[in-house]
Amino acid sequence: MLKIFASRLITGLSVILIVISITFFLLRSLPGGPFDTDKKLPPQIQINIEKKYNLDKPLWKQYYLYLYNIVRGDFGPSYKYVDRSVNDIIKETFPVSLKLGITSLIISLFLGCLLGIISSVKKGKAFDFFSFSFSTALISVPSFVIGAFLIFLFSIKLRILPAALWGEPKHYILPSLTLAAGPAAYLIRLVRSSMLDVTGAQFIRTASAKGLKTFNIIFKHIFKNALIPVVTVLGPITAYLVTGSFVVEHIYAIPGMGKFFVLAVSNRDYPLIMGITVVYTVVLVLSNLIVDILYLKLDPRIRFENSTRK
């Protein structure tokens, strides 16, 4: 178990280093610079600015200095937000994106598992048809369309929920539903198909023949074994919900990292782009690492397979 964890950890650190390197050199290879404006700056001012942010140094030295600062936990100053460091911006915005992502994850897991279970039990009936059709539609519809529809329905027509801003619990509802819609729809289909696969297994027929209650068969035997595929996709889904809220944060005017990331790209704010990218990558790596551990706990056969290979 410890060897597997160490192997996954080393792989994760390698992924973070690769992402940092690719992002760093891609940004520097794009034409133009972060301080290029319509109004050309005087040469001496341009030189002073580049010297202040180490842009006058060779590319390899800029890369070395950036890695050195990253190891120390320093993402550097923002080019566009005066007197604000990237660390300060991330400290202010990451908790917002994290709260939105966790709330959306809880909603998507609850709806996905609940409706998936009911759909598998009601296979071939009206609820199953409606659930399957509804989940297919949700997967196909972009989040900005879902967000616009929810705002129109609950904010404009019914006037029961706010259309924007962030802070109070009521502000969480529409953004979380918008962000959770796609993953919930995917989980509905996944749980349904996984449970139908397990239902046909020999040990389920044996449990039924022994006269076990239907509730126990569904939740203690079928659903427990159908959880393995769900856990497999839980890492990417968690990372998506925490980091993939650019559009949702823009629609609902949420002061999260996604909003600042979009602005950083348009402003060519290299340190802010790099800092947010590193945070997103760490979240993705940690999510997959946690899922790997849960996967090993749920299915001990994987641990056995890893040990026999060695």
127 has a pLDDT exceeding 50: yes
Q: Is residue 52 over pLDDT 80? A: no
Average pLDDT, stretch 20-36?
Answer: 81
CB-facing half-sphere around the CA of 214: CA atoms within 13 A: 3
The Cβ-side half-sphere exposure at 266, using a 13 Å CA radius, reads 6
Beta-bridge partners for 85: 77
| pTM flag (> 0.95) | no
**pLDDT tens digits, 169-207:** 888 899 999 999 889 998 998 888 888 887 777 767 776
Query: Topology of 88-270 in CATH?
Result: MetI-like fold (1.10.3720)
Percentage above 70 pLDDT, the chain: 86
The whole-number pLDDT of residue 39 equals 63
Please state, in angstroms and rounded to a whole number, the distance separating the CA atoms of residues 79 and 83.
9
Residue 189 φ then ψ, to 5°: -65, -40
Q: Please state the rounded mean pLDDT for residues 10-34.
A: 86
User: Is the pLDDT at 308 greater than 60, yes or no?
Assistant: no
Instruction: Please answer whether residues 6 and 301 qualify as being in contact, where contact means their C-beta atoms are separated by less than 8 angstroms.
Output: no
Q: What value does the mean pLDDT of the chain take? A: 82
Four-point Cα dihedral 85, 74, 274, 26, nearest 10: 120
In one-letter notation, the amino acid at residue 242 is V
Instruction: Break the chain into its structural domains and give their ranges.
Output: 88-270
What pLDDT digit, counting tens, does each position of 135-182 carry?
A: 888 888 888 888 889 999 999 988 898 887 787 888 889 999 999 988
Which of 16-25, 50-59, 198-207, 263-272 bottoms out in mean pLDDT, i.e. has the lowest?
198-207
For 79-112, the pLDDT digits (tens) are 888 778 899 999 998 888 888 888 999 999 999 8
Determine how many CB atoms are found less than 10 A away from the CB of residue 247.
17
Q: How many C-beta atoms surround the C-beta of residue 144 within 10 A?
A: 13
More confident residue, 105 or 246: 105
Task: Tell me: pLDDT of 307 over 60.
Answer: no
Q: What is the average pLDDT across 296-304?
A: 60
What are the tokens at 303?
């641990």
CA dihedral 81, 85, 87, 90 (to 10 degrees): -10
